[in-house]
Structure 1
Amino acid sequence: MKTLKATLIILILIVATANSDAQILKNIGDKAKQKVMQRGENKVDQGIDKGLDGIEEEMRRKDQNDNKETPIEDHNTTVSNENFTYNSKYDFIPGETLLAVEDFSQEEIGNFPGRWQTNATAEIVSLNDSDGTWLKINKEGVFYPEFIADLPQNFTLEFDLGVNKNWYGSYLAVNIAKLNSPTDYLDYYHYVNWKGNYAIHLQFKPAITDRFSGMSKLQASYDGNYIISNDVEFNVWNNTDRNIAHISLWRQEQRLRVYLNGEKIWDLPKAFDATSDFNGITFAQYASNQPDDFFLLSNIKLAVGKADTRNKLISEGKFVTHGILFDVNSDRIKPQSEGILKEIASIMKDNKDYKYHIIGHTDADGDDRSNLLLSERRAISVKNYLVDKFGIPSENLDIEGKGESELLDRSNTPESKALNRRVEFIKL
């Protein structure tokens, strides 16, 4: 009996002790929880205080900046040159003087452009995944830019040409000829009525991924007799992940070079007849295999004259180029700028004793402050590209952005805007 009582007493003590320990642990846990919460609240308070301090500091700086324009430092700018894909042999250099520009920015979406003629139809569109506005061509016909009325012995013609994803159509043609009347453009279609004239006929179509290479055909003909006729293949433009091509034509008297996305696809020493005049360009769409297929055309730029870069920069001390191009409202340099940048770098390497001042300029779209900052970032992009790609010493280059403060043309045409967007190099 005594043994049973003793056992019961021991059990009661064990239970009581366990309850007591549990209560102690609970109290400890509660205190720990409270402490954690308290410390968390303190952290939050500190974070809020820090955030408010930051906001106050930013407001203070903004007030200061409203009264003082602070130049952008090189290390504060992200330079976006990673999309350069053109190879080192790319040597296209645009003409020095702009004659015509068409980006359809002045046109209303859904309409046919006012400076063009056609025997079909097309409409201005904007794209969800690409900047700018485009002429969407999805009907068989010929399309004539009336604002191009002269093609001298030396000119460059550039344009962007795109297709819809999974496109499976036929060529788009570019014809270079002499047009004697307002309706002559109708003779320069995909079957050309030469009418005793000499003409150049170029065709382009992208690669159809996993099936066919892209192709370009070139025909040079006098009064229907082919002097040159051939075609070439390429894989730098397709109907899936690279469905927009930048195409550049470069005439130097009789010689014609054609580049597509940085690849030289034609280089003909006697493509043009030396005795013939040329004053017009037409674009022609062939009948499509699929009714929903279309071409996109934009960023047409005609320029004349060979850029005398070396003489102007070294002898005259100043060179201005419209050939360094950027994405819209961005400091990202477009790949087609490679040729002129390479030439500038070569001149700088040959004249190592000089330092150079790089000045960026914008058009007047947008506000003054934004354009000033954009022009500075673009000048930095040019500097960094010359340093990183061509090894020009950084200390030999300084930059400045002037935004829209020194406009060359105050009208609101595509040509004037393109003229104002420029990069200036000054020998110091």
Structure 2
Amino acid sequence: MNKFLILGLFLSLSAWANAQNTGQRVVTNAKTKSTTRVETKADETVDQALDKIEDGIGSLFKKKEKPAKTQESGSEEKMSESSEDAAEGTSGSETSNGGTTNPSLRSYSKFDFVPGENVIAIEDFSQDAIGDFPAKWNTTSSGEIVTITGLEGNWLAFKDEGELYPEFLEALPENCTIEFDLGVFNESQAYTQFLFLDENNGHDLLAGYRENGVEVGLEARGMAYVRTYDAYGAAKIDNDKPQKQYYIPEGEDYTFVRVSIWKQKSRLRVYLNEEKIWDIPRAFVEEGAYRFMLGSITYYHENKEFLLSNLRFAVGAPDTRSKLITEGKFTTQGIVFDSGSATIKPESAGVFKEIATVLQENPTIQIEIIGHTDSDGDDSLNLALSKKRADAVKNALNLDFGIDGSRMTTDGKGESLPLGDNKTAVGKAQNRRVEFIKK
């Protein structure tokens, strides 16, 4: 069973059982009810049971230890990247306490998604007030920022029929990637849609025109579709298929999935978690100016909504071979870790495959792996964390891809060599990187 579904089932049943006494939903508006898990006996009960199941369940959304302080709203104060314990993760190897880190990257051998080289936008809704619609978005309907018991950060909950889009993101480059975490709440045959609309047609984005558009839909009951449209708005490609990642089984209330979208000129690739769902060579009109949107079809059923957070927009198709072999240096923000940790996230698998292939095809090359962090937290902790992350990358290449460890050395620079402005989310994302230098 999908790890998100296991955790989602437990959270849903526990929270709804306690709702009779506390009035608390799984998705909680902090204007009316704090979401911290230390305020009530009901929350303590959820915590205790979560502690029992989380020892055996790995998740991209990991339960965090309670911080010493909380915000006035009652939400857990966001901890800096380096203020958490920097556990040494090596992507599927055994840890010193007998536990294991994330599954081996080898298990994601079919995952070929590689994030764009340069991050151009980050959206985690941290700048928006709980209960408000996000200031940098537009919509035909309504939504609000919420926090979710057991999960980090702010989320946009979008309800009812309608569409929405980030106004801060201009027309997509011909080579770009889009990643985000998507949840669906409550059983329904409602669809969540990803829309790519061509601004060259001169229509308002929210007007609903589909000329030269591309549309992907995920149904919460296990179906998905992709449609492409011609210059007159008639469907060219109309393909439906079953999918299990976004499916909500009977008896469960919600699930979460990581969505990765790769646009390369006319080509569209869509991934749910680490599985490729579509790879369509001619989805986009090459001269189109496409904007990214989302939408929902709820069939006007109440309490149906999708949840959105952790968006990452990046541009460029990394040329690993050329940069490492010819230029002697390859830098990537596509190797990502759990917050404050050296545990590698599975969505990094595509980048690892690219690097490993280059090293396998050039067996005499030796490299140095250097970790970098943003400036959040203590300097010395960031330095130590960057070194541990470089070690984790080396171990993953060795254990999961068979690269001889003697060919690799490691180092970490912490926050000392920033590429971007640490006062912005985009700058921080650019600074959290791994460098590979040919020796």
Q: Return the offset for 1:405.
A: 1.2
Residues 218/380 of structure 1: CA separation in 2 closer, same or farther (3 Å cut): farther
Alignment partner of 1:95 out of 113, 116, 123 = 116
Distance 1:325 1:315 in 2: 25
Q: Does 1:219 align with 2:231?
A: no
Q: TM-score, normalised by structure 2?
A: 0.72
Pick which of 249-258 and 235-244 moved more.
Answer: 235-244
Q: Return the offset for 1:220.
A: 3.0
**Equivalent residue, structure 1, for 2:212:** 198
1:217 maps to a residue whose letter is: V
Alignment partner of 1:234 out of 212, 227, 243 = 243
SS class of match (1:198): coil
Residues 327/214 of structure 1: CA separation in 2 closer, same or farther (3 Å cut): farther
Deviations 1:342-373 (A, max 9, x none): 11011111222222111111112222222222
Q: Does 1:262 align with 2:254?
A: no
Distance 2:169 2:104 in 1: 32
Distance 2:393 2:263 in 1: 27
Deviations 1:96-150 (A, max 9, x none): 1222221222323222212111122212222222223221112322111011112
SS class of match (1:364): coil
Deviations 1:189-245 (A, max 9, x none): xxx323xx3111111134x4xxxx342333333222111111121223333598211
Distance 2:242 2:305 in 1: 21
**Equivalent residue, structure 1, for 2:264:** 252
Q: In the alignment, is the contact (CA less than 8 A) between 1:80 and 1:331 conserved in 2?
A: no
Distance 1:377 1:241 in 2: 38
Select the structure that is richer in helix. Answer: 1
**Equivalent residue, structure 2, for 1:309:** 320
Distance 2:338 2:154 in 1: 13
**Equivalent residue, structure 1, for 2:193:** 173
Distance 1:279 1:271 in 2: 12
Q: Does 1:105 align with 2:116?
A: no
Q: In the alignment, is the contact (CA less than 8 A) between 2:179 and 2:261 conserved in 1?
A: yes
Consecutive unaligned residues of structure 2, counting only runs of 5 or more, are: 1-87
**Equivalent residue, structure 2, for 1:340:** 351
SS class of match (2:426): helix
Distance 2:385 2:132 in 1: 32
1:347 maps to a residue whose letter is: V
Alignment partner of 2:284 out of 264, 272, 284 = 272
Deviations 1:157-193 (A, max 9, x none): 22211123x5324111111122369981212xxxx32
Which has the greater radius of gyration?
1
Distance 1:381 1:214 in 2: 37
2:209 maps to a residue whose letter is: N
Deviations 1:278-309 (A, max 9, x none): 24111112225652232111122222221011
Deviations 1:80-105 (A, max 9, x none): 23275963121111121222221222
Once the two structures are superposed, the pairs formed by residues 120-159 of structure 1 within 5 Å of their partners are 120-159=141-180
Q: Return the offset for 1:316.
A: 1.1
Q: TM-score, normalised by structure 1?
A: 0.74
Alignment partner of 2:365 out of 354, 361, 364 = 354
Q: Return the offset for 1:411.
A: 4.6
SS class of match (1:238): coil
Q: Return the offset for 1:418.
A: 1.1
Instruction: Note the aligned Cα RMSD (angstroms).
Output: 2.6
Q: In the alignment, is the contact (CA less than 8 A) between 2:143 and 2:157 conserved in 1?
A: yes
Q: In the alignment, is the contact (CA less than 8 A) between 1:169 and 1:289 conserved in 2?
A: no
2:103 maps to a residue whose letter is: E
SS class of match (1:122): strand
Q: In the alignment, is the contact (CA less than 8 A) between 2:369 and 2:410 conserved in 1?
A: yes
Once the two structures are superposed, the pairs formed by residues 39-118 of structure 1 within 5 Å of their partners are 80-82=101-103, 87-118=108-139
Distance 1:241 1:344 in 2: 40
Q: In the alignment, is the contact (CA less than 8 A) between 1:255 and 1:272 conserved in 2?
A: yes
Q: In the alignment, is the contact (CA less than 8 A) between 1:117 and 1:143 conserved in 2?
A: yes
Distance 2:276 2:180 in 1: 15
State the number of aligned residues. 344
SS class of match (1:337): helix
Q: In the alignment, is the contact (CA less than 8 A) between 2:190 and 2:304 conserved in 1?
A: no
Q: In the alignment, is the contact (CA less than 8 A) between 1:236 and 1:242 conserved in 2?
A: no
Residues 377/223 of structure 1: CA separation in 2 closer, same or farther (3 Å cut): same
Alignment partner of 1:320 out of 328, 331, 334 = 331
1:193 maps to a residue whose letter is: Y
2:193 maps to a residue whose letter is: A
2:281 maps to a residue whose letter is: P
SS class of match (2:389): helix
Distance 1:128 1:399 in 2: 38
Q: In the alignment, is the contact (CA less than 8 A) between 1:121 and 1:137 conserved in 2?
A: yes
Pick which of 384-393 and 243-252 moved more.
Answer: 243-252
Distance 2:391 2:301 in 1: 46
Distance 2:163 2:202 in 1: 13
Q: In the alignment, is the contact (CA less than 8 A) between 1:131 and 1:328 conserved in 2?
A: no
Distance 1:130 1:268 in 2: 33
| Runs of 4+ deviating beyond 6 Å | 72-79, 180-183
Distance 1:242 1:382 in 2: 33
SS class of match (2:153): strand
Distance 2:367 2:237 in 1: 46
Identity %: 42
Q: In the alignment, is the contact (CA less than 8 A) between 1:361 and 1:406 conserved in 2?
A: yes
Residues 79/366 of structure 1: CA separation in 2 closer, same or farther (3 Å cut): farther
Distance 1:203 1:89 in 2: 23
SS class of match (2:344): coil
1:415 maps to a residue whose letter is: V
